[in-house]
Every structure is written in structure tokens, then in C-alpha cells.
Structure 1
Amino acid sequence: MAAQGTQTLFLSALIFLSIAVFSSQAALDAHYYDQTCPQAEYIIAQTIRNASIYDPKVPARLLRMFFHDCFIRGCDASILLDSTPGNKAEKDGPPNISVRAFYVIEDAKAKLEKACPHTVSCADIIAMAARDVVTMTGGPFWNVLKGRKDGRVSKATDTTNLPPAFLNATRLIQTFAKRGLGIKDLVALSGGHTLGFSHCSSFVARIHNFSTVHYTDPSMNSEFASMLRQKCPRSNNNGDAGQFLDSTASQFDNIYYKQIIARKGVFGTDQVMYDDPRTRWMIEAFANNQNLFFKEFAASMIKLGNVGVKEVGEVRLSCGRVN
């Protein structure tokens, strides 16, 4: 009975958080393009599906693109702007070098400009693309709120504000809180790593000379650490080497959380959440109930999509440059 009561309390807390998420979304509208560009969602979805057939890394890259865009200046497509002789843009900042797949958004934009010129913002394209890659890989569907305008400023130096892979749980929670995102959002959105891949540089410090006491991060499963060391030896010069963040990397599911419980989280930020009581119970809840994870991930994606939204501004004609 005590366990049942605890579970009910946890679920009640999640429901309350979900209500809070949806109550803050008045700025945007799911039907924003119904009259001006009713085919927008279809064009974007087809573009992404076709691109993913030729490059299976597209879904993970587009989902990461949405996170990295919204975390810098808000969801304003500043990540898409090209560098100029006088300015190094976000896309060329170190954390974004491996995002790539920018061409997929440009392709969708070009098709939208033919179908309904000067109408659909690049920021909205990224938001819809992020939903589409989740849905097409087996994850949840949600109605994307639309009406964002595109930003005109993009600086590579701002990418230092993206959370690195070595933060502790308190710093992670603080980083998300600065963007109006709660602890539930942190845990749910981290589940996007189910589609992720990491290069060795992001976790090599956990598997080689971790500290003066431990060669390997003691929070990591020893057999898993040994496997990672084979892929990422200290002398490794292969910039493409790395590890998928869960064992079903092409499928959106809750395996990521099960791996964290098994102490097979690739990033330090993945594993520290299981060692903190503020986040551990949510990891266990999502690992045990995939439908709950899907529900909360969708709610948190909607909330993330409202961070720093610009409702007044321009709709870029090309996503790589301002008008």
C-alpha cells in the first residue's frame, strides 16, 4: 500500500507539472498556418522522411538542432544563420560542429517558399521537424505550436551556454531553470538522447584517468567502460569514433533510461541524474512506463518550443541569412 501511495503521489506530481506546461503556451497557435500555408506540415514531414532514407543520422541531428537552437537565444532559428566575414555564427561554435543536417531545413524552406512565399519561419520549420523525427522513429506525436519569427543575431561564443556533458545534477537543474524549464523537463528532454550519438571527446574523460583514485568513473558499469575504451583509446585520432547513447539508436523509446539504471549512461550528465534523488525517481518511472515518458516528453517539447519565442520579426527567405 505504501508503494502504491508513493507511485500515485509521483504520477499526481507529473500531472500537475503537465498542467503548468500547457498553461504557459498562449503565445503560439497550433493552427497558425491553417489558412496561409495549410500544406506546411506535409511538406516538412515529406522532406525529412526522404532525407532520413539517405542519411539515417538525420533524425538525431534535427532533434539536437531544436535543443541547441532554443537553448541559446530561444527558438528563433539563430542556429541556421551562416557565419560572415565579421561574425562567427552559432552553427560554427564547437558544440554545433556535429549537428549538421542544416541542408534538410534549407530544402524544406525552399519548397515552402514555392508553395506559400514569405510565410513559414525557419524557427517553426525546426520545431515541426523535431516533432516529425520523433514520430517517424516510433515516438509520440504532438501538435506543434507555431507563429515564431526568425532572429537576426547568431554568435558562436553563445554556444558556451549549452550544458556540457560533465555538469552535476544541481548545475543541470539550474541551467534548465534559467530557461523556464523544470526538473521534470530536464529528465524528460534528456530522453531525446535515445536517438543520439556521441563522439569520444564528449565522454573520454570518464573512461581514462578519471581521477587520482579511479581510472574510470566509478558510476559507470565496468564492462561498459571497458567496451568504450576499446572504441575510444587515449591515443585515438579518429574524430568520427564514438558511441550511440542507447542500444536502439534508430528507435525512439525508453531504453535510454533503462541503460542509466544499469549504469550505462554515456555522458556524465546522463548518469548523475540517477544518483540524485530529485531526478532518480523520474528516471525509474520513465524506464518502467514508456507511455508515461512519451506523454511527458511531448509536454516538455511544447514547453521548450516556447522558450524565447519572437512573435515580432522577420520570416527569412533563406534560413542561412537574414533578409
Structure 2
Amino acid sequence: MEAVAVLVFALLVISRMASPVSALSLNYYDQTCPKLESAVTEAVKKATMNDNTVPAALLRMHFHDCFIRSGGPTWDVPKGRKDGRISKASETRQLPPPTFNISQLKQSFSQRGLSLEDLVALSGGHTLGFAHCSSFQNRIHNFNATLDVDPTLNPSFGNSLRSVCPAHNKVKNAGATMDSSATTFDNVYYKLLLQGKSLFTSDQALLSTGKTMNLVSKFASSQEMFEKAFVKSMIKMSSISGGQEIRLDCKVVR
């Protein structure tokens, strides 16, 4: 959990609305708040010990903030990202949903200056966390006019998902972990994807072009290459602009 805690610290520090990376600084808070990094790291470590889903939730939060307005790897985090003044629930529709195909994903990412490699690397964040049945229901029930289950799903894996998520599921929190090591930041997500054991349509979509499939295979074969690409793409995504100010009280606009 040590490495995951450091990863989550990075997400916390850069999770507010962005300004360009060139305007950020690795020592932004050295004078104004020199204990920030240790305080945040300790708080996140404590939270993660109490709830091992915290890293996945914070990763989701970071992706949400950047994409709309603005054991794992460690990196030096450029700091000084700015708080935005607007937060609209309706804007969550701008996040690429789990039903997107590769063309829709490419368009969504390219509109924000993110490449195909960024798309595949950031999808590796699905190594952490849990998905509710509604996120992948389209693949295991009434897939199309002739098939009930997506044929790209591994048959036994598809059957296990159907047993957890029946057609008329009434269990509110029913679902499945994103991969078989859902509390460990690793490259298992890519290995399972190649075996037909991914949850989302948007996961399976990464195998639908030669370039994205090659990237999936590369990351599946080397956790080191995945982590290097993930860090690069996380920092790049953090540079998406949109904020206006840094607030002492997050609830109050200056």
C-alpha cells in the first residue's frame, strides 16, 4: 500500500482545476505550506488502511476533474493547480461512458489533447476499483438481436458476470471488481483484457485497432512500461486548463 498511498497523494495534490504544466512547480508550496506533502500523504495512508477502495475513488476523482474542466508508480508532482468556480452535475456527461467504442473514445480524448497512448495508458486505471452491474449490463444481457452475451467475452467469465448480475438485478450494490487484483496497482487489467475478461465495452474497444492492441500487449507484458506511460499520461492530463484561483477554504470563492 505504500506505493499506492504515494500515488493517491499525487492525485490529491493535483486534483483541483488545472493550469498548464509549464505554470506548475514541484516546490510550489515549499514556502507557503511546507508540511503539505507529508500531511496529505499521512491522511491518505490512514484513509486507505480503513478502506482499501480509497485509491480507486481518488483516481476516479482526478480523472473526473481533469476531463471535465480542466503497489503503484510514484512521481514528482507539479503543483499549483487552480480551483475552478463552476461545478455542474450535468457536465459529468462529458466523461466517456463505459459503452463507448474506439471511435468515440478517440474523439473524446483527442478533443482534450490526449493521444491514443494516453487513452490506453489511462485505461489502466481500471486496475483499481469496483464496477456496478449497470456499467456492463449491455455486454451480458440482450447484447444484440441474435446474441444475449457479447461474443468477445470469455464464456466462463461472461457466465460468472451473469450470475452476479442477473437480467433483472435488484441488488443495489451488485457488481464486480475491475480486475482480479483490484486493490493492487499492477498490469493485470491488460492481461485479463487479452483473455476476454474485461468488464466494459470501452475496455474491449482497446483491442479493436492495431495500434491500441499493440499498446495493450506491451503493457500486459511489462508493468514497468505501463507505469512509465501511466505517469506520463497522468501528468499530461493534469495540465488540462480551466481553473482561476487557489483557495484557502475550498468552499468559498475568493
TM-score, normalised by the number of residues in structure 1 = 0.71
1:70 Cα deviation after fit? 0.8
Distance 1:287 1:151 in 2: 37
Deviations, residues 278-307 of structure 1 (Å, cap 9, x unaligned): 200000000001100011100111001111
1:314 Cα deviation after fit? 3.9
> Counterpart in 1 of 2:213?
280
| Residues 1:322 and 2:233 aligned together | no
CA RMSD of aligned residues (A): 1.3
> Counterpart in 2 of 1:211?
144
> Counterpart in 2 of 1:30?
26
1:144 Cα deviation after fit? 0.9
Q: Matches of residues 82-97 of structure 1 in structure 2 within 5 Å? A: none
> Counterpart in 1 of 2:37?
41
Match of 2:53 among 54, 57, 62: 57
> Counterpart in 2 of 1:308?
241
Match of 1:294 among 224, 227, 249: 227
> Counterpart in 2 of 1:239?
172
> Counterpart in 2 of 1:186?
119
Distance 1:265 1:316 in 2: 42
Distance 1:320 1:241 in 2: 34
> Counterpart in 2 of 1:264?
197
Percent identity between the aligned chains?
48
Distance 1:309 1:185 in 2: 20
Letter in 2 for 1:60: A
| Residues 1:229 and 2:162 aligned together | yes
1:313 Cα deviation after fit? 2.0
1:164 Cα deviation after fit? 0.6
1:316 Cα deviation after fit? 4.5
Letter in 2 for 1:230: S
SS across alignment from 1:198: strand
1:309 Cα deviation after fit? 4.6
Letter in 2 for 1:315: R
Equivalent residue pairs, number: 235
SS across alignment from 2:100: coil
TM-score, normalised by the number of residues in structure 2 = 0.89
SS across alignment from 1:243: strand
Deviations, residues 20-65 of structure 1 (Å, cap 9, x unaligned): xxxx731211111122212111111110110111111111101110
Distance 1:216 1:149 in 2: 45
Judge conservation of contact 2:24–2:80 (CA < 8 Å) in 1: yes
1:275 Cα deviation after fit? 2.2
Distance 1:271 1:34, change over 3 A: same
> Counterpart in 2 of 1:197?
130
| Residues 1:144 and 2:55 aligned together | no
Deviations, residues 93-115 of structure 1 (Å, cap 9, x unaligned): xxxxxxxxxxxxxxxxxxxxxxx
Instruction: State the structure with more CA Rg.
Output: 1
1:237 Cα deviation after fit? 1.1
Distance 2:214 2:248 in 1: 43
Letter in 2 for 1:203: F
> Counterpart in 2 of 1:69?
65
Letter in 1 for 2:253: V
Unpaired runs of 5+ in structure 2? Answer: 1-19
Deviations, residues 173-205 of structure 1 (Å, cap 9, x unaligned): 110111111111000000011012100000011
Unpaired runs of 5+ in structure 1? Answer: 1-23, 75-137
Distance 2:166 2:178 in 1: 18
Distance 2:163 2:214 in 1: 32
Deviations, residues 196-223 of structure 1 (Å, cap 9, x unaligned): 2100000011100100121101111111
Match of 1:163 among 79, 90, 96: 96
